[in-house]
Structure 1
Amino acid sequence: MVIELVHRIKEDTQSWFSQNLKGDRWIWAVCIFLMLWSIPVVYSASVKDAYRERQGNTEYYLIKHSLLCLSALVIMYFVHRVPYIKFARFSRLSVWISVPLLLFAAFNGKVVNDAARWIEIPLIGQRFQPSEFAKVALITHLSLVLAKHIKGRWSPRELLTEPVLLVGIVCGLIFPSNVSTAVLLAGVCILLMYVGKVPVRYLFLTGLALAFFATVTVVLRTTQRSGTAQSRVQTFFNPDTVVYQSRQSYMAMARGGIRGEGVAKSRQRRFLPEPQKDFIFAITVEEYGTLGGLALMLLFLTLLYRGLKAIDVTKRPFGGLLSAGLTFSIVFQALTAMAVTVGLLPVTGQTLPLFSQGGTSMWFTGLAVGMMLSISRGEFDEKNI
């Protein structure tokens, strides 16, 4: 009787998943596992902030991060049920909406750590980072523009207005307050343009446009983080100097060894700045060891492979470019955060997508993954976009 009940529950569960969770099952599995694993890690890493800001209420960050993970899953679920071709209709509007949002954040945004990256949402008090919205919007619209010209039929005016000027404006507006995000987004866009057969000389023009708009926004808005970025790069190339964050990160990973100190047994979380955000990979290695760090890296590499695998499913230019762009954006950010932690890159402030604490990043990464899942369904025709 009990065995029959277990089999029935198993069959009903499998039936529900097959009917409701469409798309690449590996992408679903990787993202769900990342978020579930992140909950105990964020809970452990946020202990210092809990005692400093919440009078020792450690459950606050546990509940908050769990709800953010749940909300990201809900976003993924509803977005993946939408035919991805519908996002093309709103891509241009979304990009141009992101421009005034980025301008508002630059001049009137909420300043945290000397950078005005956030807009505070009234009533709920949640901070919103417009650069996260701009990333998804720009990659979506750029994929659409490139898909329409995939056979290389470009006019100089089309090249200068859509890919070159658009990428330059958005990345240039992000640059003063978040240098690393602007550089990563520009890299993804240039890579997409190369894949989309944009002539090489226009890739150089895109680079010049990025430099121009970045310079203009820095001049207009008193450097903000550009000075910090410069000092970090100089320190990185100075062999006699190690920044405080990196020193604490190395100590955390050294303590972890092969198997780690154990769940929620990190010691360096008391000294490492932003352990639940920028340096959560160091806490993961300390608690779960080198094996845990390798497992986390393998999860993101699996996501990279499955995201690019969706190109074979769609067999259409827009879906393929969009899946590639969103996948590159997520995985490159993750690899950058890991590289910073182990000392291969200067300190950037990049977080681990779907793993670090953070509301805006979690939501828009969920949106991006939902779009990837919609593409991986391979059920839609692009003739009408």
Structure 2
Amino acid sequence: MRAIKTVILEFWNEVDRWLWTIGVILSLSGVALIYSSTHMSPNPVEQDLYLKQLFWIALGLVAFWIVYVLPFRFFEAFAYLFYAAAILALVGVFFLGSTRLGATRWYDLGFLNLQPSELAKIATVFALARFLAYSSKYETNISKRLLPALFLALLPMLLILRQPDLGTSLVFFAIFLAMLFWSSIPAIYLFFIISPALSLLAALHWVSWGLFFILLLVVLYLVRPGGFFSTATVTVNLLAGMIMPLVWNRLHDYQKLRILIFLDPNRDPRGAGYQIIQSKIAVGSGGLLGKGYMGGTQTKLAFLPEQHTDFIFSVVGEEFGFLGVLALLALFGYLIYRGIDYAQKARNSFASFTALGITAVLTFQVLVNVGMTIGLMPVTGLPLPLVSYGGTSMITSWIMLGVLAGIGRRRYEY
């Protein structure tokens, strides 16, 4: 008993208490919000979801402690092995995974529906961190730094897109851009990298695409990044512009609807646009102070489906108002600040890149989830880290916090 007490005291004295405490506050707040949004559900299974969430939090805290005590050199040594295992898991889900609502994303383990795409996030961060830590020191050719890094991010992204899961796949692109920026690659190259996506959007009308393509040619002429890179950029953008109709036709019906409803929710107010309309009503009706815990009408009357998962932010807005929303965002803001601070102060390059990559995951998911809830972004199905219901998401979030805390503890090590 004394040994356990000693371990706990050592942990508490060394760990970043603010980071750990805010993680616990966010997680327990999520449990309260899940209970509020499901306790009146006619489905008995949904009424007990808050108890399951407590179990996931407990597992997450254990995972936090395990990765916290491991040195970051352990993750650096096995980074590519973790990445390979994640890729195998993503491939295997197509053969061994369970399918729900037309998506094959989970391994049914009985007590947990394991979503390998969540674990692939942290594995990809490790792999990119190891590669960029080396190439930033020893590789001066930008193309030789860009292309392997792009491959590391693109492979899991495409596999997840095939499931299909557009929202989660975009997280990997955010990781790639953030970590590439951190590697001191000129920002203009990041523009060239995202230019094909911009070409796809501009190609919705031939005039806008033509203007964008002219702008791209001018920038390439002024920057002159090199023959191969320039040729590849022009070729990919030409192809992106020409295949836009094909890309649109290849999208699943629900993906097309999400884009159209994002542009105009009232296009189908009782169908595909229903969720976003009800979410905006819930958030807006909270006012300054909200309607009180378990007092939200949209929540109690179950006007908004999946409110305990992707749309849990709307419960905060309705029941706790603008001040509650502000408090929640402030907590996330501190976690993001802490991650950037550790990335800046870490003397080891791998640790610095890892801290930045994890911070990019948290930042992107918070921005997209909140933006989706208030109608500023299309519905993508990304959970709010530490708050939304979900076992794999909760455990992965705590693993990322544990890695961050471990880097903070050893930030002065080379």
C-alpha offsets along residues 129-179 of structure 1, whole Å, 9 cap, x if unaligned?
Answer: 110111100011101110112236155885476312222211111113111
Q: 2:257 aligns with which of 222, 228, 231?
A: 231
Match of 1:323 in 2: 355
C-alpha offsets along residues 75-127 of structure 1, whole Å, 9 cap, x if unaligned?
Answer: 11221111112111111011111122212224552122321111112xx3421
Residue 150 (structure 1) aligned with residue 136 (structure 2): yes
Cα 1:109–1:63 change in 2 (3 A) is same
Match of 1:180 in 2: 167
Distance 1:160 1:253 in 2: 41
> By how many angstroms is 1:205 displaced?
5.9
Match of 2:77 in 1: 89
Q: 2:348·2:411 contact (CA, 8 Å) conserved in 1?
A: no
Residue 109 (structure 1) aligned with residue 97 (structure 2): yes
Counterpart amino acid of residue 229 in structure 1: Q
Match of 1:8 in 2: none
Q: 2:139·2:145 contact (CA, 8 Å) conserved in 1?
A: no
Matches within 5 A, 1:1-385: 19-21=10-12, 22-47=14-39, 50-54=41-45, 58=47, 60-121=48-109, 124-151=110-137, 153-154=139-140, 158-159=144-145, 162-176=148-162, 177-198=164-185, 204=192, 226-238=252-264, 240-241=266-267, 243-269=273-299, 270-378=302-410, 381-382=413-414
> By how many angstroms is 1:271 displaced?
1.8
Shifted more, 124-133 versus 350-359: the winner is 124-133
Distance 2:413 2:261 in 1: 51
Q: 2:265·2:274 contact (CA, 8 Å) conserved in 1?
A: no
Q: 1:83·1:380 contact (CA, 8 Å) conserved in 2?
A: no
Cα 1:189–1:157 change in 2 (3 A) is closer
Q: 2:63·2:402 contact (CA, 8 Å) conserved in 1?
A: yes
Aligned residue pairs, count: 354
> By how many angstroms is 1:53 displaced?
4.7
SS in 2 for 1:111: strand
Cα 1:103–1:16 change in 2 (3 A) is closer
> By how many angstroms is 1:346 displaced?
0.9
Distance 1:324 1:157 in 2: 22
Cα 1:138–1:168 change in 2 (3 A) is same
Q: 1:26·1:306 contact (CA, 8 Å) conserved in 2?
A: no
CA RMSD of superposed structures (Å): 2.8
Q: 1:261·1:286 contact (CA, 8 Å) conserved in 2?
A: yes
Distance 1:28 1:380 in 2: 20
Cα 1:202–1:246 change in 2 (3 A) is closer
Unaligned runs of 5+ in 2: 201-235, 241-245
Counterpart amino acid of residue 254 in structure 1: G
% of aligned pairs identical? Answer: 29
Distance 1:359 1:271 in 2: 25
Shifted more, 231-240 versus 287-296: the winner is 231-240
Shifted more, 347-356 versus 225-234: the winner is 225-234
Distance 1:68 1:381 in 2: 32
> By how many angstroms is 1:279 displaced?
0.3
SS in 1 for 2:275: helix
Distance 2:82 2:68 in 1: 19
> By how many angstroms is 1:36 displaced?
1.8
Cα 1:116–1:207 change in 2 (3 A) is farther
Distance 2:357 2:133 in 1: 12
Distance 2:22 2:146 in 1: 39
Q: TM-score with structure 1 length normalisation?
A: 0.83
Counterpart amino acid of residue 383 in structure 2: T
Distance 1:196 1:161 in 2: 14
> By how many angstroms is 1:321 displaced?
1.0
Match of 1:4 in 2: none
Shifted more, 154-163 versus 238-247: the winner is 154-163
Q: 2:175·2:361 contact (CA, 8 Å) conserved in 1?
A: yes
Q: 1:259·1:291 contact (CA, 8 Å) conserved in 2?
A: yes
Distance 1:239 1:78 in 2: 45
Unaligned runs of 5+ in 1: 1-12
SS in 2 for 1:51: coil
Distance 2:285 2:145 in 1: 52
